[in-house]
Amino acid sequence: MTIPLSEYALEETELELAQLVREFADEVVAPVSYEADRTHTLPLDVVAQMGEMGLFGLPFPEEVGGQGGDYVALCLAIEALARVDQSIAITLEAGVSLGAMPIHRFGTDAQRAEYLPDLLAGRALAGFGLTEPEAGSDAGATRTTGRRDGDEWVINGSKQFITNSGTDITRFVTVTAVTGESGGRKQISTIIVPHGTPGFTVEHGYDKVGWRASDTHPLTFTDVRVPASHLLGEEGRGFANFLHILDEGRIAIAALATGAAEGCLEASVDYARSRTVFAAPLASRQGIQFMLARMQARVHNARLAWLHAARLRDAGKPFKTAAAIAKVTASDAAMDNARDATQIFGGNGFMNEYPVARHYRDSKILEVGEGTTEVQLLVISRALGLGG
C-alpha cells in the first residue's frame, strides 16, 4: 500500500476531510470521468454535489458563508479529487483561488455580499481573465484596456485560456486591464465583468490535449461597459494583488499535481499485481518494483512540499519561495509518474479508458499553468540572491 495520510502529521479533522473527499472521488467522480473527458463536458451535477459538501467554501470564514477552514483543508480536497480526475480538481482550485478568493480578499462589502454566497456554495463559478495572446508569464505586457467614462469602465481587449469562464453557472469574470500609466509603467487594475454584459463574448471552447472536461475559453471585450463600482480593489493595484493570489494558487496546483502522481501510483500498483507476464505477476519483476518505488518517493516528496507551503501560508508567514518549490516538485512528480504509469500499463496505458492515459495527457499543463516551471525556478533562484 502507499504511504497513508495518517503519517503526515495531519489533524484528525483534516484526515476526516481527506477521507470524505476521497470516497466521493472514487464513488461519484471516477465513474463519470471518462465520458466527461471524451465529450469535453464539465459535469455540473458533480460540481453541485461538491458545493453541497462545502468544498468551495473550505478556506473562507464562516461569517461570509465559508467552512472556516484553511488552505491545507482546500489542498487536501483538491489532492483527493485529482487522484481520479484532474478536470474536476482544477474546477475546484480555480473556482476558489481565482474566482472567489479575489472577491473575498480585495472586494468591497457590497461585492462580497453580492457574489460570495453563491460562489462559496458552488451555485456559481467565476473566472479570472489574466492571460492574453501577448501576455502570459509576462503579465505586465497586458494590452486589454479599461477606460473611465463617467460612472462606467469601458473595456476593450481579449483574454485566453480562462478557466470556468463559460459554464452555465459562470457568474462573472474578473479582468485585468490597463487603466492608466505612472512613471512610464502601466497601471493594471482588476474589474468585475458579469456574464451577459453587452460586448462581452465567451468564444468557443478550446480543443485541449488534457483537462478536457474543464471549462476553458478565450474571451473578447468590445466596448464593454460596467459600473465604476465593479473595480475590484484599489485602482492600479490589480497586478500586485494578483501576484499574491497566484502564489496561493501555486500551492493548490502542487496539491493537484500530488493527487495526479498518487493516482498514477495507485493504479500502477494494482495493475502490476494483477497483470501476468511470462507466468508471473508483473509486480514480481524487480525493474517494475524499482519503478513503483520511485513513484512512491515522488508522491511523498510532493506532498511534503505542498503541506509545508500551505502551513506557512496558514500561519501568516512568507511562503512565496516554498510555493514555487512545491509547484516544481509536484508537477515534476505528476509528469514522471504519468510517464512511468503508462509504461507499466503497456498498450493499455495508451487507451483513454484507463485513468493513467488521461493523467499522461492532463499532467503536462501542470508545468505551465499558474506560472511555468521556468518562472518557479526564477523565483527560487532570486530567493538565493541570484539574478536581478
186 to each of 243, 256, 326, 342, how far by Cα in Å?
A: 16, 33, 31, 46
CA dist., res. 290 & res. 300, Å (int): 15
**Grid coordinates representing 387?**
539574478
Catalytic residue of the set 16, 79, 370, 374: 370
Question: Any bridge partners for residue 174, and if so which?
Answer: 128, 192
Q: If you compute the radius of gyration of the chain from its CA atoms, what whole number of angstroms results? A: 21
Look at the block and give the residue holding cell 526564477. 378
Catalytic, 370? Answer: yes
CA dist., res. 25 & res. 77, Å (int): 10
Catalogue the active-site residues.
370
